[in-house]
Chain A
Amino acid sequence: MKIEITGVGKRFRGRLGGEVEVLAGLDLTVYPKELFCLLGPNGCGKTTLLNMLAGFDTPTSGRITMGGRTVREPGPAAMMIQQEYGLFPWRTVQGNVEYGLEIQGVKTGARRRRASEMIELVGLAEAAGRYPRELSAGMQQRLALARALVVEPRVLFMDEPFGALDAMTRHRMHGELLRIWREKGMTIVFVTHDFNEALLLADRVAVMNPRSGNIGKIITVDQPRPRDLLSPAATEAREAIHRALIEGFAAAP
Chain B
Amino acid sequence: MNAPLPRKSQPPPVPPETELQQQPVFRMPVLAGERVLFPLLALAGFLLLWQAAAAWYANDYLLPGPAAVLLALVEVGRSGMLLEHIGVSLYRFTAGYLLAVLLALPLGMLLGWYSRLHRAFDPLIQILRPISPVAWFPLAVLWFKIGDLPAIFIIFIASFFPVLLTTIAAVRGVDRIYIRVARNFGSTDWDLLRKVVVPAAFPAITVGLHIALGVGWIHLVAGEMLGAQSGLGYFIIDARNFLRTDLVIAGMLLVGVMGLILDRLMSWAERQVWSRW
Check B1 against A172 for contact (C-beta < 8 Å).
Answer: yes
Check B185 against A134 for contact (C-beta < 8 Å).
Answer: no
Binds A, one of B39-47, B89-97, B172-180, B255-263: B172-180
* A99 (CB) vs chain B CBs: closest residue: B185
Residue from A84, A89, A100, A172 within 8 A of B277 (CB atoms): A89
Residue from B8, B180, B185, B276 within 8 A of A131 (CB atoms): B276
Interface string of A157-195 (1 = CB under 8 A from B): 000000000000000100110110000000000000000
A25 to B1, CA, bound (A): 41
Which residues of B (12-67) have their CB < 8 Å from a CB of A? 12-15, 18
Check A102 against B195 for contact (C-beta < 8 Å).
Answer: yes
Min C-beta distance of B28 to chain A, whole Å: 26
Interface assignment of B116: CB less than 8 Å from any CB of chain A: no
A179 to B14, CA, bound (A): 26
Residue from B14, B188, B276 within 8 A of A89 (CB atoms): B276
Check B177 against A138 for contact (C-beta < 8 Å).
Answer: no
Min C-beta distance of A171 to chain B, whole Å: 10
Interface assignment of A67: CB less than 8 Å from any CB of chain B: no
Check A88 against B178 for contact (C-beta < 8 Å).
Answer: yes
* A179 (CB) vs chain B CBs: closest residue: B1
Binds B, one of A35-43, A58-66, A71-79, A237-245: A71-79
Interface assignment of B78: CB less than 8 Å from any CB of chain A: no
Interface assignment of B200: CB less than 8 Å from any CB of chain A: yes
Check B277 against A79 for contact (C-beta < 8 Å).
Answer: no
- Residues of chain B with a CB closer than 8 A to A125's CB: 5
Min C-beta distance of B107 to chain A, whole Å: 23
* B11 (CB) vs chain A CBs: closest residue: A134
For A, the interface residue count at a CB cutoff of 8 angstroms equals 39
Question: Beyond A100-B185, A103-B187, A136-B15, is A82–B180 a contact (Cβ under 8 Å)?
Answer: yes
Most buried by B among A76, A103, A138: A103
Interface string of B192-211 (1 = CB under 8 A from A): 00011001101000000000
Check A123 against B184 for contact (C-beta < 8 Å).
Answer: no
- Residues of chain B with a CB closer than 8 A to A136's CB: 12-15
A178 to B212, CA, bound (A): 53
- Give 13 CB contacts A-B under 8 Å: A73-B183, A75-B186, A86-B175, A88-B181, A88-B196, A104-B185, A123-B3, A123-B5, A126-B6, A126-B7, A126-B8, A135-B12, A148-B184
Q: A123-B5, A148-B184, A176-B3 are in contact. List 16 more A-B contacts (CB 8 A).
A: A76-B186, A80-B184, A82-B177, A82-B180, A84-B177, A86-B181, A88-B196, A90-B199, A90-B276, A91-B199, A100-B185, A102-B195, A103-B188, A103-B195, A104-B185, A136-B15
